[in-house]
Structure 1
């Protein structure tokens, strides 16, 4: 892939440099989330047939079908992850080649450019070594990741609501409150991430210029990193608590319904498993949003630096 000029936005870069591959990744992602609710139904049927003293032959076939679906789902995930990795690494390579090509083209003999100062050299080194990696790494997951996770959420919530309507309220109770505290916490992370990138660039310039960075800047990077960790892990704690609270409600309410013969045990098992399948894609979707926000900041700084050095943005 070649990108003669960097687009203004990160998603614009994703489409420009990997548009055809994003289609293939989206197809694989659709295959993965299309299978997401099938294991839940197989679990439900196996448990209910076992409790009802159903046919052993039927239970065996359902178990074999479960294994086959699991293998197919994991095989699609393997293909998706390998393909994503290739697209991401290709994007990283393209960004680094863009920098190297820019270097080879300056200064021109007829119009010599001014010598680059040490601070700019340090910034350039940081861009080649560190900043291209996360930006390019996001390219592989830019479209397929939210598609797969949103598809999984819709599929699992729809299945749970189909087998037992009250679980829809439970699902919304799990996800709804998180929509209140996740966005502001993510914005706080984004602010610190942008400040961290700028500070690290200054650290790189200090090393090139004087051989050692300023101590204040090192302390600044440390403080920003710790701020990011505190917010990130606090957010994870709150999300985990909401998940376990939902599981407790499902077990409590479902157990009472089973005692009153209003619900089959297999349905409770499927609901609890479904909550686990909701927790993972929701967490991955939040992580994707975090990566999008942070890497968009990195990309904007990266593109601005290249524009300053003579590469136009599209």
Structure 2
């Protein structure tokens, strides 16, 4: 659509923004360029700002609610050596190891940027017809020698990146197992002090299924958001360095992901809480059937009903999780469409080089992976918080039940 047929206010703003970024388009440009520029330069940034403001408001609201609840109803700082807050407990017990993981994660980012830049340099400066000789240590290198040098540096970069990730994963595994062992010992010691309650049968499940994800999350608390978030920022910076408009196009679908995926995750969190409670009900029912004098025919029907309820909850969790995964994959696949259309048009207009477009496409392939990992980290954080709260509730209820039993006895 020609510029004079569009809304003057929005079109002029998009046109001025594009001019400021060094791209001029007008009546001679294809019609699809105009709505694409409005989407990339106007609609997507506005939605991203709304999502950021909403997220900030939610964080402030949660902090204010937590502060108010602490003033109204004081709680114990520690339960069996466990902080009432999951993050506070992990930081208090593993802050030294988390610091080393942070340093190692940050050291991988410059190597990542180098591995993104080198393929573009090979395509533009070596494989192009207008190759200019490279002077290295006083020697002029031919195109073949130039290619060998850049390829060798690229091989070194990916090797360092691989070795660094291997060391990071080894240290994360060591931290996770140490944190898990400490957590299980704290729960076990608390259980040994309060053995008169009727909830002793739930201990194996608490030590196994519910405690293990907490230990695994402790290793990801700092390393995963720094590594994946740093990777995301590094790739995004690389895209903006190639072309600011293509960098903005990479963020076009992000507002939809930030809005839809957390909403679906809250549904999964609610179902996860129901599943944990139903598993404990099943464990209590099965423990009662171990005693022949207390075994009743009605308990068989109750067990069957509990198993059906567990199946129903897990099927609902699977449906929501698979829908979230399919939706995220679809939204992620939409961004290359903008790269091929806008980026291809920029190459034809000689705004960017073919090597830069190839590098942006290759970088975006790696862009979706850390984004998925950050969403997975958010899901893991919410799920681990639920499990940690359930562990604390189990310990508190066992302690209260033990006090009642001792008072009645």
- TM-score, normalization by structure 2: 0.70
After superposing the two structures, state which structure 1 stretch, 226-235 or 84-93, moved more. Answer: 226-235
Q: Does 1:52 align with 2:133?
A: no
In structure 2, distance between residues paired with 1:106 and 1:191:
30
Aligned to 2:238: 159
> Which of 91, 101, 120 does residue 189 from structure 2 map onto?
101
> Which of 210, 215, 219 does residue 140 from structure 1 map onto?
219
- Whether contact under 8 Å (1:121, 1:208) holds in the other structure is no
Aligned to 2:370: 281
- Whether contact under 8 Å (2:194, 2:399) holds in the other structure is no
Aligned to 1:255: 344
Deviation at 1:103, TM superposition (A): 3.4
- Whether contact under 8 Å (2:122, 2:147) holds in the other structure is yes
Q: Does 1:291 align with 2:368?
A: no
After superposing the two structures, state which structure 1 stretch, 186-195 or 226-235, moved more. Answer: 226-235
For 1:177, what is the secondary structure of its paired residue? Answer: helix
Aligned to 2:93: 17
- Whether contact under 8 Å (2:201, 2:283) holds in the other structure is yes
- Whether contact under 8 Å (1:149, 1:281) holds in the other structure is yes
Q: Does 1:85 align with 2:173?
A: yes
- Whether contact under 8 Å (1:95, 1:132) holds in the other structure is yes
> Which of 11, 27, 38 does residue 103 from structure 2 map onto?
27
Q: Does 1:116 align with 2:204?
A: no
Aligned to 1:38: 114
After superposing the two structures, state which structure 1 stretch, 277-286 or 230-239, moved more. Answer: 230-239
For 1:116, what is the secondary structure of its paired residue? Answer: coil
In structure 2, distance between residues paired with 1:301 and 1:244:
38
- Whether contact under 8 Å (1:122, 1:201) holds in the other structure is no
> Which of 302, 314, 326 does residue 237 from structure 1 map onto?
326
Residues 53 and 221 of structure 1, relative CA distance in 2, 3 Å threshold: farther
Specify every segment of 5 or more residues in structure 1 that has no aligned partner in the other structure, as ranges. Answer: 108-114
Specify every segment of 5 or more residues in structure 2 that has no aligned partner in the other structure, as ranges. Answer: 1-78, 132-142, 291-299, 401-409
CA deviation string 1:153-212 (max 9, x = no partner): 111111111121111221111322211111101111111111111111111222222157
Matched length:
300
For 2:336, what is the secondary structure of its paired residue? Answer: helix
In structure 2, distance between residues paired with 1:52 and 1:215:
74
4+ runs deviating over 4 angstroms: none
Aligned to 1:177: 256
> Which of 190, 196, 199 does residue 275 from structure 2 map onto?
196
- Which structure: larger Rg? 2
- Whether contact under 8 Å (1:122, 1:207) holds in the other structure is no
Aligned to 1:215: 304
Q: Does 1:125 align with 2:204?
A: yes
In structure 1, distance between residues paired with 2:129 and 2:221:
46
Specify which structure has the bigger relative contact order, considering alpha-carbon pairs within 8 angstroms and separated by 6 or more residues: 1
- TM-score, normalization by structure 1: 0.90
In structure 1, distance between residues paired with 2:395 and 2:377:
26
- Whether contact under 8 Å (1:46, 1:59) holds in the other structure is yes
Deviation at 1:142, TM superposition (A): 1.0
In structure 1, distance between residues paired with 2:128 and 2:310:
59
For 1:262, what is the secondary structure of its paired residue? Answer: coil
Deviation at 1:53, TM superposition (A): 5.6
